[in-house]
Structure formats: structure tokens, C-alpha cells
Amino acid sequence: MNPLRLKKNEERRLRAGHLWIFSNEVDTAQTPLQGFQPGDLTVVEDARGKALGIAYVNPDSLICARLLSRNPHAVIGEAFFVLRLENALGLRERLFEGTDYRLIHGESDGLPGLVVDRFGNVLSIQTNTAGMERLQPIIIAALEKTLRPRAIVAKNNSGLRQLEGMENYTRILSGELPEQVRIEENSVQFLVDVMAGQKTGWFFDHRSNRALAARLASGQRVLDLFAYSGAWGIQAARAGATVVDCVDGSDAALGLAAENARLNNVHEKVNCVRADAFEFLKQAREAHEHYDLIILDPPALIKRKKDVKAGIEAYRRLNQGALQLLAPGGILVSASCSYHLQRDALHDILRASGRHVDRHMVFIAQGGQAPDHPVHPAIPETDYLKAFFCRICPSL
């Protein structure tokens, strides 16, 4: 392997635990990035030539290398991936009784650029970097050896791939996909559209937050905005909500939400409404509609730093609109999966929104991502999900 040498002192972040190397940290006079092909493996060296570990390289990306092992003699083959998979599996088996969870969460599980969601005997994977794409055949072999799945599907539709210069695609990599893929979350059954669904097909990261929201739903009228396939709303209905309105802009998502409502025998109190969330909030306000529990879980509205200003404005409009629909004593669950919207920023949006509409707001709980999405303490990018549970009363 050709070495990749860093400039003086640029190894400090790696020694502190991070796994990324940026192109401006490389001593390109000693080791030109043009000498690498996307996905090549390399031994990373500090400025004195001391080996720091093995990484894969993409010379065309701002994050030009990601560390796979701190052992410079490691062999990045099937056995390497089996060991990482077994370690990740051991954690999930301690966390959950079933077999529905995120199995690999990128850097936090020592496999930067790789995501694997497990739906029983079906695996949905994303290889989001050129390095993981090159290693994909070995990854598939390791997954088959470790879990013997019925099918492995590549859901390579992430925007991260564009930054790596790769095309998006979805296809079955091995096995045969069953006609229906069913999972269980918080004792509620769901059908998952692995091939056509968003991301890997399901969002396990809000599992713990959805469990708390369901506890608050009994006897309540519930609004689930950006409902997708009904994960929040149907769990609320199963927990005893009287009416649940699931709002989404996708007919396909709402069709799956309706199927999931029937699957759980709550279809008589779950309404699937196709609408733009901003327009729905406006029309519901004009119609003097009120809800006791509102779940606001939009997709990432801030994907890049340059989107922060517009994204904050969108979060502000959504939260103000939701607050205006809450009955006295109602609860708003406001969530964000945008890494570039920090927890303190969402906190401040909610505080300001409460004052703007003249409501007394208190936070009764805060949430993050479920434990199958572990946070790497040296990599803040792995800590992306935040949720506030807000009780809203008339102004004091």
C-alpha cells in the first residue's frame, strides 16, 4: 500500500479518537493525493513517518481518508469485517430481544461510511464512501457468514455518495427479497418497503422517543406531521389515542402507513392525509383545529452549513405553526435530524416560538438517537438526533 503522510501536528485529531483525514491535512509534497484511486487502502503516517493505522482514500473528496484500523499491520479482509460485525451484533443483542435494529452505524461501529439495518433475516445496507463501495463484496461475504440473511439489499441513495463522486442505485445484492418485510418496534408491527422506501427503508433512530410519545398519547387527539409510514402515529394509536392524523406529502408513504394501521387494527382511528406540512398547518389553524399531541419530525432541513439560515427559518415556521394548533396542556414533540442544527439552536427556536405565540412552555423530556445508533465521543458528527418534549399552556 502506498503511504499517506500527514503534515506536522495534523495527526492530533486522529490520536484524540477521530477517524477522518481532510485533504488539507495531507503532506501532498511527500504523498500526492493524485497517486491514489478512489477506495485505495493506505497506511497513514505522521510527519515523521510513524504509522498511525490503515485507512481508505478518496483523493476527490474533502474528507480524503477514513481510518479503518489503528493497527498498521491489519489485513482488511473478510475476517476483519466479521470481527467488527460480531462486535456490533453483541451490543445489539444486549439491547434488544428481537432482530430489528441498526446493526452498523458507521464510525461508531468502527466501519466509517457503512450503514447496515437489520429487518429480521433481511439486511439493508448503504456504502456511502468510495472506500466502502470498493470493499462491498467483502462486506457482503462477511454479512452472509455472520448472519446468513435471506436477502441483502443495497440502498445506495444517500447524498453522501455524490460528495464521493459515486452514482446512486438500489438493488438486491444477494438472496431473494420476501414479498413482505415486517418488523417490530416497541411491540408494534410494521411493514417496511425496503426497495422503494426512504433511506434504508426504516428510521430506527427515534425508537426510544416514539416509545415515550406513545406513553403520552392515551385518550389524546394526535397529529403526526411528516408521518412517512406511520411509525409515530400508529404507535400512538396502539397506545390509546382517540384520533391520529398522519400527514405526509408522499402517496406511497401514506399507502404504507394505511397498511400498517390495518396491520395493527387501528385503521378506524388513523387518518392518512396527503398534504404539504406547512400548508396543512395553515389550513388547520384557519379551521380552528386543535390537537393534544403533535409530533413534528421533519427530514433534515439543513444538509449543509450554507443551508443553516434557511433551515432555521423552516424549523421556526413549523414549530410556531404546530404550537398554534395545540390545545391547552398539549404536548409538542419537536425533533431534528439535522446535524448542523445543534441542540441548543433547536432549544432556542422552541423558546422563541413559544413566546411569539404567547404560550407558557416547559420541557418535560429530551431525547436523542436510540442506542443502536451509538455516538462516538470523538466524532460529534455521529451525534445528530435531538428531540424536545414540550408541554404548552396558556401564557402565565
Residues 91 and 148 in one domain: yes
Statement to judge: residues 43 and 8 lie in one domain: yes
Do 88 and 229 belong together in one domain? no
Domain assignment present for 131: yes
> Could you give the 3-state DSSP secondary structure of residue 262?
helix
| 100 burial level (CB within 10 Å; 0-12, 13-18, 19+) | buried
Same domain, 340 and 229: yes
pLDDT at 159: 86
Shared domain for 246 and 375, answered yes or no, is yes
User: What is residue 40's predicted lDDT score, i.e. its pLDDT?
Assistant: 98
Q: What is the DSSP string of 277-308?
A: HHHHHHHHHHTT--EEEEEE----S--SGGGH
Please confirm, yes or no, whether 393 is among the known catalytic residues. Answer: no
Residue 227: closest CA among 199, 252, 205, 264 = 252
In a domain, 184, yes or no: no
- 385 and 269 inside one domain: yes
> Do residue 98 and residue 118 come from a single domain?
yes
The answer to whether residues 53 and 87 belong to one domain is no
Which CATH number characterizes residue 48's domain?
Answer: 2.30.130.10
- The domain in which residue 240 lies consists of 193-394
* Binned average pLDDT, 10 residues per bin, the chain of 396 residues: 96 96 97 96 97 97 97 97 98 97 98 98 97 97 98 94 93 96 98 94 97 98 97 98 97 96 98 97 97 96 90 96 97 96 96 96 98 97 97 95
CATH number at residue 360: 3.40.50.150
Look at residue 182 and tell me if it is in a domain. no
Domain termination site, one of 69, 100, 118: 69
Task: Assess contact for 151 and 122: CB atoms under 8 A.
Answer: yes
Alpha carbons 204 and 96: distance in angstroms, whole number: 12
Determine the pLDDT at residue 304.
Answer: 85
Domain closes at, from 69, 91, 119: 69
Cβ–Cβ under 8 Å, residues 241 and 271: no
- Out of 144, 175, 206, pick the residue that ends a domain: 175
Asked if residue 267 is part of any domain, the answer here is: yes
Determine the 3-state secondary structure of 315 from DSSP: helix
Domain count, the chain: 3
Task: Please state the separation of Cα 2 from the chain's center in Å.
Answer: 34
**Can you state the angle between helices 251-263 and 231-238, rounded to 10 degrees?**
20
Strands 41-45 and 20-22: unpaired
| Judgement on whether residues 59 and 86 belong to the same structural domain of the protein | no
According to the model, what pLDDT value does residue 361 have?
Answer: 98
The domain spanning residue 88 has which CATH number? 3.30.750.80
Residues, the chain, total? 396
- Do 32 and 99 belong to one domain? no
Alpha carbon of residue 368 to chain centroid: 11
With respect to residue 186, please indicate whether it lies within any of the assigned structural domains: no
Establish if 295 belongs to a structural domain. yes
Catalytic residue among 64, 246, 337, 390: 337
Return the C-alpha cell found at 217.
Answer: 398519547
Is the domain of 221 the same as that of 364? yes
| Class of residue 216 by CB neighbours under 10 A (exposed 0-12, middle 13-18, buried 19+) | buried
Q: Does the residue 50 lie in any domain?
A: yes
pLDDT of 305: 85
Q: Decide: residue 29, CB within 10 A, 0-12 exposed, 13-18 middle, 19+ buried.
A: exposed
- Is 185 inside any structural domain? no
* The predicted structure's pLDDT at residue 365: 98
| 18 in the same domain as 91 | no
Q: What is the pLDDT of residue 312?
A: 95
